[in-house]
Amino acid sequence: MLKFSLTDPGRMALLPSISPVFLWTGFLALIIAMLAVDIMVFHKKRHDISIREALVWTGIWFAIAMLFNVFVWLEFGHTEAIQFFTGYLIEKSLSVDNLFVMLLIFTAFKIERRFQHEILFWGVAGALVMRGSFILVGAALVERFHWILYIFGAFLIYAGVKMFFKEDEDFDPHENWVVLAVKKLVRVTRSHADGRFVKKERGRTVVTILLVALLVIEVTDLIFAFDSIPAIFAITTNSFIVFTSNIFAILGLRSLYFVIAKTHDLFHYLSYGLGVILVFIGAKMLLDIWKIEIDTFVSLSVVAAVLAVAIGASLMHNKRQAMLTSHRKKV
């Protein structure tokens, strides 16, 4: 097999082997505990998240993910640690596009900022269940039918190319099929009802616009998962690494959302960078047909380089736009 590699094949784990049952139950217990502490202690009181607070929490979630990455390195080895970080970086990068859509959803539904964090919390909780099921099913299919990876690869290339031609769209809540389906089943009120998802109105039980926004976000995340999860399978087929890297990436999305919401105009070329990443990952999958393997460290380097170029180009674009605006004002 022809292999492009810049790393050693790995090394022996430093810790004694932990049983798979304990790994999975321990990880799930850790995630549930962190979510409980987050919503019941640190964000118990609804408030508008400032960009400073959002940046602090983004850093905290990143630090927790990296501590877990150290555990992966100690327990599984060098190669798996790189796979975890690469999967984490890919998922986090692709999720940025999802955050832009969430911003459109909240704007269209006129959701107050003090309620947005709680909606995102339950959105992440639902995503954990949906993505976990998706990953376990995907891992089982890949293990039994290896050729499914080639379908994933072709789909990722298609999705990546499509991002180059994607036009900015306004979210219309009146035309969204999820909203239309909910309105057919139950009565919807536009009232925020002090953050409640369900309320009594004239003796009838109705759902608030907050619950409708949550359902739209859940469906949107499921659609985006069809891009991001196959991309991680290109890095590793180890279901534990795929699942944990994916979950840690989306855990920090709530805080990252509030950063994006206030700075989204700074990322002009990011979608093009994400398109390049999807095409690269898809090509990596398809190269396996000819027994050509691109090492995980090489993949990590390419993803990091593309993101750096996209962000750098966006910053240069913003600087040029600011200079042009300043020049026009002087003229």
CB contact burial 279-293 (16+ within 10 A = b; e otherwise): bbbbbbbbbbeeeee
* Terminal Cα distance for the chain, rounded: 64
Q: How many whole angstroms separate alpha carbon 305 and alpha carbon 112?
A: 37
Report in angstroms the alpha-carbon separations of 57 from 52, 63, 155, 158, 295.
9, 10, 34, 34, 32
Bridge partners of 2, per DSSP, are 292
Q: Tokens standing for 316?
A: 């240069």
* Sequence-ordered list of residues with C-beta below 8 angstroms from that of 92, at least 6 positions apart, any chain: 249, 252, 256
Q: How many whole angstroms separate alpha carbon 21 and alpha carbon 26?
A: 8
Tell me the CB-side half-sphere exposure of residue 69, using CA atoms within 13 A: 21
Q: How many whole angstroms separate alpha carbon 244 and alpha carbon 68?
A: 9
Q: What is the pTM of this model?
A: 0.83
In the numeric block, the tokens 């170029």 are attached to 309
Phi-psi region of 166 (alpha: psi -120 to 50; beta: other; left: phi over 0): beta
Tens digit of pLDDT at every position of the chain (331 positions): 444 444 444 444 444 456 788 889 999 899 888 888 877 766 667 667 788 888 888 899 999 999 999 999 998 999 999 999 999 999 888 887 778 778 888 888 888 888 888 888 888 888 888 888 888 888 888 888 889 889 999 999 998 898 888 765 556 666 778 888 888 888 888 776 677 888 887 778 888 888 888 998 888 888 788 778 888 888 898 889 999 999 999 888 888 888 877 776 678 888 899 899 999 999 999 998 898 888 888 999 999 999 999 989 988 988 888 787 776 766 5
If residue 105 lies in a helix (H) or strand (E), which one and from where to where?
helix 78-109
User: Tell me, what DSSP letter sits at residue 7?
Assistant: S
Domain boundaries, the chain: 51-330
Report in angstroms the alpha-carbon separations of 250 from 61, 62, 137, 309.
10, 11, 19, 23
